Amino acid sequence: MARIHRLATLLAMLCLALFAARPALAQSVLRDAETEALLADMANPLFKAAGLSPASGQVVLIGDPSINAFVAGGQIVYINAGLIDAADSANQVQGVIAHEIGHIIGGHAVFQRDGGYGNISILSLLLGAAAMAAGSAEAGTGILMAGQRAAIGKYLAYSRVQESSADAAGARILNGAGVTGKGMIGFFEKLTQQMHQYGYYTTGPEVDPFAQTHPLSQDRVQTLTADLQNAPSWSKPLDPDLERRFKRVQAKLRGYANDPKATLRIYPKTDTSVPAHYARAYAYHKSGYPEQAAAETQALVKLAPTDPYFLELEGQILLESGQPRSALEPLRKATQLSNNAPLIASTFGHALVATEDKANLKEAERVLRDSLTRDRNNPFAWINLGTVYDRLGDEPRTALATAERANLIGDPRTALISARRAMGGLAQGSPDWVRAQDIAMVSEQAMKDDKRYRGGR
């Protein structure tokens, strides 16, 4: 719970600066139950080996096609979707995570108000997210990327000393966790090749920020290799379960984020593997071929009828193709089979609301509240819960849901107004009233800080 709050606060604080001064820099945190579960399983042994509690460590996925990973305060490692796309294995990504945890324990991240992560998109809400966020981002990709790169460059102007210390710590972490460092070396070599290809000091958009902010000298790679090769874990085989799940998540992200034509080139129809079906389902859905998308999803569900993520995708595609009633069964099953994964439950709640059937409102309320109790950091779920209360005629709780969402996306003005409205109608001292009061106080403070911040510039 605490870590979700901290992330929400961090996001809110960052957004504040963003929305006030430079909306063009807003970036998306991508949320997806399967991806988050995988990243946690990849990172938890590394957090533990670093002496950090896995409960407070977190890996957050950013919807950005460039190859980058970074820390920005707290025990959060940010990984771009572009890095997952470029990596050959889960083990390579673990190498990057270990290096970034090295920055965390070295205390290298300096929190800056400029630049940051504004919008939260949910990987599942393809069309919804496209309409809300990606649509505008797509139009201005060039500008966005340039600005973002500059901000990240400034953000992470790490010295060589800090890089070497993060490498050394990263190697210790991998060795301590019993994870081979082959992936770390492999990924760094990949970046070195890219740099040679594009020129080291080029600041054009073709050079990735990770390469820019992580100068990779030959002796750096040599030192790192020596540190890693001497450990017993060097010759340990890769974890087959993590690698298999990585290929799935990578395919899903590619299908979601990349141009559908590119996806179909990597995963041609002749490829009947699970990752290929996954990638094509997203690619077809994204380009408006619901029947082909459904065929790919059905192939997956046939292969593994109790896989919650396949059922989640089946439900989403139906929901987003305007068939919320048909989406209920697969989403209900996916929610149960995933042991009520909050993100999957929130999609189920969305489908219940989308049926526009009054008889479904109570179940939607229960499902959404349960999801949000365990994961507040989900603006779409707050929108849906607000709709439920609005239809039930519960004005104070409609206002509270609006306040929660506004608080999350960094809109303290709306959060304050809505929280006060909610407090006016709720029983004083009740849990919802206390929550509204908390949001009101935090938002008031955020507005004061924002004024001071802008005044001081």
Residue 252 is a binding residue for Zn ion (CB under 5 A): no
Q: Select 162 or 323, whichever has its Cβ closest to Zn ion.
A: 162
The stretch near Zn ion (CB under 5 A) out of 163-171, 309-317, 418-426, 449-457 is: 163-171
Q: For Zn ion, which stretch binds (CB under 5 A), given 6-14, 17-25, 32-40, 158-166?
A: 158-166
State how far the Cα of 165 lies from the Cα of 410, in Å rounded to an integer.
Answer: 34
Q: Report the distance separating Cα 429 and Cα 319, nearest Å.
A: 38
Beta carbon nearer to Zn ion, 58 or 402: 58
Q: How far apart are CA 331 and CA 193, in angstroms?
A: 44
Residue 207 vs residues 201, 259, 403: alpha-carbon distances, Å: 9, 20, 40
Evaluate the CA torsion angle 242, 248, 253, 259 in order and state its sign.
Answer: positive
**Which of 182, 214, 254, 277: binder of Zn ion (CB under 5 A)?**
214
Taking the complex as a whole, how short is the minimal distance between the CB of residue 338 and Zn ion, in angstroms? 34
Q: State in angstroms the smallest separation of the CB of 290 from Zn ion.
A: 43
CB of 284 to Zn ion, least distance (A): 38
Between CA 402 and CA 286 the distance in angstroms is 29
Q: Which is nearer to Zn ion, 42 or 166 (CB)?
A: 166
Residues 406/412, Cβ–Cβ less than 8 Å = yes
By C-alpha distance, which of 453, 441, 418 is closest to 22?
Answer: 453
Query: Is the Cα torsion angle 87, 88, 94, 95 positive or negative in sign?
Result: negative
Pattern of binders to Zn ion over 118-157, x per CB under 5 A?
----------------------------------------
Q: Which is nearer to Zn ion, 214 or 332 (CB)?
A: 214
209: left (phi over 0), alpha (psi -120 to 50) or beta: alpha
Say whether residue 108 binds Zn ion (CB under 5 A): no
Strands (E), 44-116: 58-62, 69-71, 76-80
Q: 122 phi and psi, to 5 degrees?
A: -105, 125
Site for Zn ion in 312-371 (CB under 5 A): none
Choose between 97 and 294: whose C-beta lies nearer to Zn ion: 97
Residue 166 is a binding residue for Zn ion (CB under 5 A)? yes
CB 73 to Zn ion: min, Å: 15
CB of 159 to Zn ion, least distance (A): 10
What does the binding site for Zn ion look like in residue numbers (CB under 5 A)?
Answer: 166, 214
